[in-house]
Structure 1
Amino acid sequence: MAAVMHNPPVAAPHYKLTVDDYYRMGEAGIFGPEDRVELIEGEVIEMSPIGSFHAGLGTRLSEWLMPTLMGRATAWVQYPIRLSRHSAPQPDFALLRYRSDHYMKALPAAADVLLVVEVADTSVRTDREIKAPLYAKHAIPEYWLVDIPSRCVEVYAQPGDGVYRQVQKLAAGRLAPIAFPEAALDVAELFQA
């Protein structure tokens, strides 16, 4: 009779991709134009598809915020941000420090980001449990999670030690980026179709 061994699972060594590896893979055609992926902590993560309501919300955010901020901030819509050697997320929307080259010479880094926004339909949990700590770890000063199912915006601020120390949920009222308090929007209007 054979003895049954109850050993804990062995953690096999993992190879973390760098942002440079990730871009070389894209240049080599490993990712096709239909692939929606981003690099988070060295792993290629599949992104949720974007539906019309999600896309419209992202556009509405940009249209509300940018007229006030032209020449003072750069709108960054679904483009990568190089947070570290192993992470290049592609948030739905970000406000970056204004640069006259519009980041053509290099992707923005964490220090360039004033606000990052994820619009979540099916990815609320991922955006809350993976993206929020990632953005906090890299000291992004403000993160908005636009929660479509709950029709609210979770506002994360005061990053430190990999967490945001201030979190609030808004279903109504005015909301403005910390860096630009004059660029306010109405949260309830944001969700009106």
Structure 2
Amino acid sequence: MPTTTYEPELDTTRPFRIRWTRDDCARFERDGLLTPGKYELIEGDILRKMPQKRPHAIALSLTCICLRQIFGDLYVEGPVAIDVSPEDNPTSTPEPDLIVLNRPLTEFGESNPRPDDIRLLVEISDATRYFDRGTKASLYARAEIVEYWSLDLVQRTLHVHREPREGKFQSVTVHNEDESIAPLSAQDQAILVSTLLPPSNEDLE
């Protein structure tokens, strides 16, 4: 059975911090100091994106295939930059691994998808799993993303975040690889968690 979990609040107190903005990053890109697609701006921090390891790439491909089978090719996109809440937008440009859109991706032109364009958001989590379930979950909750999945490749579990309210997801459940879960926007389409995961070490022996 899925279990309900309550994520601990993280102490983010820092003695000194420079908070960068989207405008700063655009200027850094023009000056050749940043490379598009190689970093994320999260709560004013410029975070270098690490090269994908093979398990991450496999999980991303498997999850993308699964979601496209349910929602259609034109409704699943990623990794892609999105907008968040108005108060976070100036200092955050997250690039989730996958999003499921309410309308075809071809309709967006040069505009980032906004929170109300997104039916489901997915992060493939390995070395970043605590960050994804802490800082990023809070960012997505403040944006009122209706459903956020964090696929934990280390524990081989799926953390499902729902009911964003007052800056937090009120419902967070953890599903093991032998359990199934259906997206809120496709409740008749149950997904076995193991179908999203790369082969385990035992499977390869």
TM range, smaller chain? 0.7 to 0.9
Report the Cα offset of residue 29 of structure 1. 1.6
Given that residues 65 and 183 in structure 1 are in contact (C-alpha distance below 8 angstroms), is that contact kept between their aligned partners in structure 2?
A: no
- How far, CA to CA, are the matches of 2:78 and 2:71 in structure 1? 15
Q: Does 1:78 align with 2:74?
A: no
Q: Which residue of 1 aligns with 2:7?
A: none
- How far, CA to CA, are the matches of 1:183 and 1:25 in structure 2? 43
Given that residues 139 and 160 in structure 1 are in contact (C-alpha distance below 8 angstroms), is that contact kept between their aligned partners in structure 2?
A: yes
Report the Cα offset of residue 150 of structure 1. 0.4
Given that residues 58 and 197 in structure 2 are in contact (C-alpha distance below 8 angstroms), is that contact kept between their aligned partners in structure 1?
A: no
Given that residues 160 and 174 in structure 2 are in contact (C-alpha distance below 8 angstroms), is that contact kept between their aligned partners in structure 1?
A: yes
Q: How does 1:25-174 map to 2 (within 5 A)?
A: 25-32=28-35, 36-70=38-72, 74-83=75-84, 84-99=89-104, 101-171=106-176, 172-174=178-180
Given that residues 175 and 184 in structure 1 are in contact (C-alpha distance below 8 angstroms), is that contact kept between their aligned partners in structure 2?
A: yes
* CA separation of 1:54 and 1:100: change in aligned 2, threshold 3 A: closer
Q: Give the share of equivalent positions with the same residue, in percent.
A: 27
- How far, CA to CA, are the matches of 1:180 and 1:28 in structure 2? 44
State the superposition RMSD in angstroms.
Answer: 2.2
TM-score, normalising length: structure 2: 0.79
* CA separation of 1:124 and 1:24: change in aligned 2, threshold 3 A: same
Given that residues 55 and 198 in structure 2 are in contact (C-alpha distance below 8 angstroms), is that contact kept between their aligned partners in structure 1?
A: no
TM-score, normalising length: structure 1: 0.84
1:120-141 superposed Cα distances (whole Å, 9 cap, x missing partner):
1111111111111110011011
Report the Cα offset of residue 49 of structure 1. 2.9
Report the Cα offset of residue 175 of structure 1. 1.7
The structure with more radius of gyration: 1
Q: Which has the higher helix share?
A: 2
Given that residues 69 and 183 in structure 1 are in contact (C-alpha distance below 8 angstroms), is that contact kept between their aligned partners in structure 2?
A: no
Provide the secondary structure at the position in 2 that maps to 1:105. coil
Q: Which residue of 1 aligns with 2:203?
A: none
- Relative contact order (alpha carbons < 8 A, sep ≥ 6): 1 or 2 greater? 2
1:145-170 superposed Cα distances (whole Å, 9 cap, x missing partner):
10111000000100111111001100
Q: Which runs of 5+ in 2 are unaligned?
A: 1-13, 200-205
- How far, CA to CA, are the matches of 1:118 and 1:68 in structure 2? 18
* CA separation of 1:64 and 1:120: change in aligned 2, threshold 3 A: same
